[in-house]
Each structure stands twice: as C-alpha cells, then as structure tokens.
Amino acid sequence: MIKLQPIKKKQTILRSPYLFILASLVCLVGSLFYFQPGVGYEIISNGEHVGYVKTKAQAEQTVESFNRQIRDEKGEAATYDLSVAYQKGKMDKKEFTSTDVMKQNFEQSLDIRMPAYIIKSDSKAVMAVKDEETAQKVLNAVKQPYVVKSDSSKISNVRVNFIQDVEILKLEKVSEENILESHEALSKVNPSAAVSRSKLTRSLVPETNTIAQLFDIKTSYEEKGTVAVAPGVQKVADPTMKIGQTKVKTEGKSGVREVNRLVTMVNGSVVENKVLTQKVVEKPQDKIVLYGTKSTASGVVGIAKQYLGTPYRWGGTTPKGFDCSGFTSYVYRQLGVSLPRTSYSQSKAGTRISRANLQPGDLVYGPGHVGIYVGGGSYIHAPQPGQSVKISPMSQFRNFSHGVRVM
C-alpha cells in the first residue's frame, strides 16, 4: 500500500498538461469556428448587392436599424417590400461595408411607396406631388399665362378654365421616386425656375416641353369698347344753283357706338368675338350736299339744241358725230351728270316716268333708241345713219317705252 501511493501521484501529475493542451485546442477550434478568419457574409436586398459583414448577426442588426430609420424618416404611411438574403463565402480581398453605406444601398434597392396626389388630364397622369396644395399651385401656374388682367372700365367677368377634364386624385401608394417636390413640380410648368435635378428616373412625369400639350386653356371675358359710326349723306335741292352743280354745306361728323363683346380665346388665340349688346351713345351728323335744280337756257334742252345738225356716227360720243346714247350722255356730261354708255343702261339711270308726266330734260326711251324730251310733245335725238341731230314729234317715236328723270 505504501508503494502504490507515489505511483498514482506521478500519473496525476503526468495527465494534467495533456488536459490543459486539450482544453486549449478546444478553445482554439471553437474560436476559429466562430470567427472564421477570411470568411464573411454578402447581404443581398431585393436581388441587389448591399454590402459585406463579418457575421450574420451584424447583418440582421443593420436590417433592423434600417427599418427603424425608414419609419422615423418616412412615417408609418411609407410601405415597401424588403427581401434580404445572406450569402456566406470567402472575403478574399473584399472589404467589409460600413453601416451608413449599407443603409444607403438598402434604400436604393427599395421601391418605397408613399401617399401622393396625382394631377390628371383626360384620365392621363401628368405628375405626382406630395400634397393637394402643391397640385393646385401647379394647375394655377398652367393657367397663369392666359389670365387677362381685369379692368373695371373695359374688361370684366374673366374666366380661365381647362378644356380637358382635369382632376386631382389622392393615391395611397405611389413610388417615391415619382413624387415631385413643390419646386420641381412648378419648374415643369415654369422652365425658367432653377431646380436641382434628381438622379432618379421619374417615369410618371413628362418632360417640360410636353406639359403644354397636355392642357388646353379656354379664356373668356367681356370687353367694352367703342366704334365710330360713319355719317350719312343728305342731298338737298338748291334752286339757286344750276342743274348739275353741287356744293357741300356741312362735312358731317362720325358718331360713337358702345359695344359689349364676349371674347373667347384658346391657348391665347382669339377664336370668337361675339357682340352681346351695343348702343349709340353719340349720334353721327350727316354730311349735307346741295344740288342745283335751276333750269335755264344752259340747261339740258338748251345744251342739246346747240348740237342740232350734228351728223350721226355709229359709236360717236363727240360733236364730230353722235349715236343716240352718245348724244344724250354728252349733253348730260356738260352739266356734271354721268350717264351709262348704252341706251338700255340709260333707261334705268333714274326715275321711271310715264309719257303723260314727261318734263323737258327727261330721257325718252324705247328698245334700241334714246333721246331727250324738249316739251310740247317733241324730243331731240340722233336718229340713224345718214341723218343728223334733230327734233321730232313723240308721235313718231316708234316702240316708246317710258321716260327717265335723271335730274
């Protein structure tokens, strides 16, 4: 028994280093298994690379932190689909991604949807904005170039409306990348406004130069104005003046008419100008012209008798020779009265007179022939080829139709 005790003590002493080494190896293997040098996790969000982390626990913490950040920044109304995958592998020369960079990459991989207001024109979406107030500002900006300034004395009842069916509609889920800020939305209808362009593609929003094509603006207003009313002409007989003489007694004066119109424009061009009411506020003063009625030896008959004996000439209109209508027109022209060239036209040049009411100086007409009544049942005329201007009894005027009073 005494010999055995030292032997057991020696065996215990020999075994304790092995136990220590074994424990150290276990710890080392466990540490290597946990930390796995040269190995990491790639985070993939909605099919897009987000970054690299050492452990899966770090990735999960980053995802949870990102979700809280979105709720804080966007509010509870924000919605999105987030599908995260973790791919374990060797890092090689890859570097781990910082938390801030990963959060930014997470956000770019998402389609974040927010409540927004859509402006529509004939059921076609024009743009999306954050609030109804901004939408109304945009529509007002579209109308603004076509607003006519109202002047209480001339222009009133100005109305500016869209021809298309335009509405503002609220939607609960609109891609955030398509929702314009107020200054961006206004720049679409006012290209001169300075705007910092987003790098995101806003497919819902048309280019600035197509905005005008999506709206047609109808402008209408009432306009008061005045127009001149031309004076008339009154002819007054003056027995002190010879037949054929005229004289302006008063020049006359234009009047004024007040007109109220309804003007309609489309996209700035006038398409209708309708008179609603009108009234004369200042009457025009007629021009008065005196004309002579005094008949003397130098009157029509007296002048006509001066050419007795002038030979007949076909187409003649001068004292070298007359045909019938050439003779009558020449005589009247001496008194300042212009007659048509042919006998038929002269038959309609004045007031029609029956044979019983003929007076000296009246034209006497029958088909193909015309002369001048001299009184006493006779007339003076250029008869026919081979004869001269002469006075003949009316009884010899074959086919007489009627007289014409020119004076």
Q: Please report the pLDDT score of residue 18 as a whole number.
A: 56
pLDDT per position as a tens digit, 142-169:
998 898 887 667 899 999 999 999 999 9
Q: Catalytic residues, which ones?
A: 324, 369, 381
Q: Please report the pLDDT score of residue 12 as a whole number.
A: 45
Domain boundary pick from 291, 307, 322: 291
Q: Are residues 129 and 210 in the same domain?
A: yes
- Please indicate, yes or no, if residue 246 is contained in any of the structural domains: yes
Reply yes or no on whether the pLDDT at 200 is more than 60. no
What is the tally of structural domains in the chain? Answer: 5
- What is the C-alpha end-to-end distance of the chain, expressed in Å? 181
Q: Are residues 382 and 400 in the same domain?
A: yes
Q: Are residues 338 and 395 in the same domain?
A: yes
Structural domain that includes position 261 = 222-291
Q: Please report the pLDDT score of residue 193 as a whole number.
A: 42
Q: Are residues 192 and 280 in the same domain?
A: no
Domain boundary pick from 291, 320, 349: 291
Q: What is the mean pLDDT of residues 37-64?
A: 86
Of all residues in the chain, the percent with pLDDT exceeding 90 is 50
Q: Are residues 367 and 393 in the same domain?
A: yes
- Please indicate, yes or no, if residue 64 is contained in any of the structural domains: yes
Q: Are residues 283 and 306 in the same domain?
A: no
- Please indicate, yes or no, if residue 155 is contained in any of the structural domains: no
Q: Are residues 165 and 260 in the same domain?
A: no
pLDDT band of residue 311 (cuts 50, 70, 90) is very high
pLDDT per position as a tens digit, 88-100:
888 888 888 888 8
Q: Please report the pLDDT score of residue 35 as a whole number.
A: 46
Here the CATH number for the domain that contains residue 282 is: 2.20.230.10
- CA 371/CA 325 separation, integer angstroms: 8
Chain mean pLDDT for the chain: 84
- Please indicate, yes or no, if residue 173 is contained in any of the structural domains: yes
Here the CATH number for the domain that contains residue 373 is: 3.90.1720.10
pTM over 0.85, yes/no: no
Q: Are residues 128 and 187 in the same domain?
A: yes
| More reliable by pLDDT, 162 or 9 | 162
- Please indicate, yes or no, if residue 154 is contained in any of the structural domains: no
Q: What is the mean pLDDT of residues 249-262?
A: 94
| More reliable by pLDDT, 69 or 253 | 253
Q: Are residues 43 and 73 in the same domain?
A: yes
Those residues whose C-beta lies under 8 Å from the C-beta of residue 187, and which sit 6 or more positions away, are: 193, 194, 195, 208
pLDDT per position as a tens digit, 271-305:
999 999 999 999 999 999 998 777 654 578 989 99
Q: Please report the pLDDT score of residue 215 as a whole number.
A: 87
- Please indicate, yes or no, if residue 156 is contained in any of the structural domains: no
- Where is average pLDDT lowest: 22-26, 161-165, 186-190? 22-26
pLDDT per position as a tens digit, 318-366:
999 999 999 999 999 888 788 999 999 999 998 999 999 999 999 999 9
Reply yes or no on whether the pLDDT at 33 is more than 50. no
- Please indicate, yes or no, if residue 247 is contained in any of the structural domains: yes
Q: Please report the pLDDT score of residue 299 as a whole number.
A: 77
Q: Are residues 300 and 401 in the same domain?
A: yes
Q: Are residues 133 and 200 in the same domain?
A: yes
Q: Are residues 136 and 208 in the same domain?
A: yes
- Please indicate, yes or no, if residue 263 is contained in any of the structural domains: yes
